Homo-oligomer: A and B are copies of this chain.
């Protein structure tokens, strides 16, 4: 038994078929049974969760107007500031850190009536070093990173939805490895105020759910400029409704291998050749100018993290993992010329990619080279890097399986700002099912 989806949970509470307290208790029961193995939660406080739920139920009993997620439990990655839970960014350096203000995503969730069930595990500084979380499909395997806990908690049925973040492959990859829907909207869709800042250019708030409709619902709720995030885009009212609209005809898909194809595993290659054929997705090569886009993404990420964490490195590098230190040290060595080239090429490349969305409704591409590898790493993010770099929306659907039974994610990518079309295609594909 798993807890219901996000929209279903909200409807059940709204209609009086369930209470928030009952829903939260279901989550806590599921957590009690799976958490010892999965370790999805960085901070969980049963009593606090139940107090929020009881307040929601009292509020409803009082006849007050209800927010769209009234009484519904949601998990939040431990890189978003919370006043009622510690916020440790997956790092020993920030042990016990208590922010003074909630991140804007948390404020918005609370305003919508949601119960913040707890903070989900992030890898250290949302980077690659594995944390404690295990893959719910096989605890010997990674849940992926860096939104490890958000993906695993949703996959294990502990919570209907969770908020993650992606600077390279941190929403799409763990969602794919854990077999849930992971949706990273267009860069800037959800304001990042109060989130750990890795890279203004790359950081994107995303969500994990068990359906496209739930992902659309949650992103619509969280979207919209907050007056503080300089990259925040306007709200997108109607996104959730648009996502489940029936397509008048099957979508035109472009099967794109990306410069990450050198990492693809044979069974992924085979599965995607079959899927592309089945969907009539024409293989579409990217120009040579995309060849070093993943390296450019790496330059931006290394420099921005080295800059934004320079104080952490200077005061506490002994508490940072060797992998993170190496990244920060690499970022310090990059020249301003190389960095500017990497930053500026982003727009040049996107202008080259954009016309493709005149010829197709979405790009079809793997979410990762293969299924979740063993827990020694969080897996290779390369199939996400290009899309994070370019700021396009991307969504992964748990439609395929590897020979070992682990999920393989099917990633769809859309044009910047055209999230509604991407979600409609995703919903179509989800409903249709894969071969």
Interface residues of chain A, those whose CB is within 8 Å of chain B, are: 303-304, 306-307, 310, 331-341, 344
Would B331 and A310 count as touching, CB distance under 8 A? no
Since A304-B340, A336-B336 are in contact, a sample of 4 more A-B pairs with Cβ atoms closer than 8 Å, ordered by chain A residue number, is: A306-B337, A335-B335, A335-B336, A336-B338
Which B residue sits closest to A307, measured CB to CB? Answer: B340
| Residues of B with C-beta under 8 A to A306 | 336-337
A234 to B408, CA, bound (A): 48
Given the complex, which residues of B lie within 8 Å of A337, measured CB to CB?
A: 303, 306-307, 310, 331-332
> Which chain B positions have C-beta within 8 A of A341?
307
The CA of A269 and the CA of B156, in the complex, are separated in Å by: 73
Contact partners of A338 in chain B: CB under 8 A:
336
- Distance between Cα atoms of A338 and B336 in the complex (Å): 8
Give the nearest-CB partner of A299 in chain B: B336
Closest A-B pairs by Cβ, 6 of them:
A336-B339, A303-B336, A334-B336, A307-B340, A336-B336, A332-B337
Q: Within the assembled complex, what's the spacing in Å between the Cα atoms of A340 and B304? A: 8
Copies of the chain in the assembly = 2
| A298 CB, nearest partner CB in chain B, Å | 13
Q: How far is the CB of A262 from chain B (nearest CB, A)?
A: 27
A435 to B104, CA, bound (A): 55
Min C-beta distance of A351 to chain B, whole Å: 13
Closest to A200 in B: B344
Look across to chain B and name the residue whose beta carbon is closest to the beta carbon of A334.
B336
A200 to chain B, nearest CB (A): 10
Note all chain B residues with C-beta closer than 8 A to A344.
307
Interface CB pairs A-B, < 8 A, 24: A303-B337, A303-B340, A304-B340, A306-B336, A306-B337, A307-B336, A307-B340, A307-B341, A307-B344, A310-B337, A331-B336, A331-B337, A332-B335, A332-B337, A333-B335, A334-B335, A334-B336, A335-B335, A335-B336, A336-B336, A336-B338, A336-B339, A339-B339, A339-B340
Give the docked Cα–Cα distance between A304 and B337 (Å): 8
Of all chain B residues, the one with the shortest Cβ separation from A338 is B336
Name the residue in A307, A341, A344 with the highest tally of chain B Cβ atoms < 10 Å from its Cβ.
A307
Report B-chain residues with C-beta under 8 Å of the C-beta of A340: 303-304, 307, 339
In the bound assembly, the distance between CA atoms of A344 and B230 in angstroms comes to: 13
Q: Nearest Cβ distance between residue A348 and chain B, in whole angstroms?
A: 13
Which of A307, A337, A339, A344 has the most C-beta atoms of chain B within 10 angstroms of its own C-beta? A337
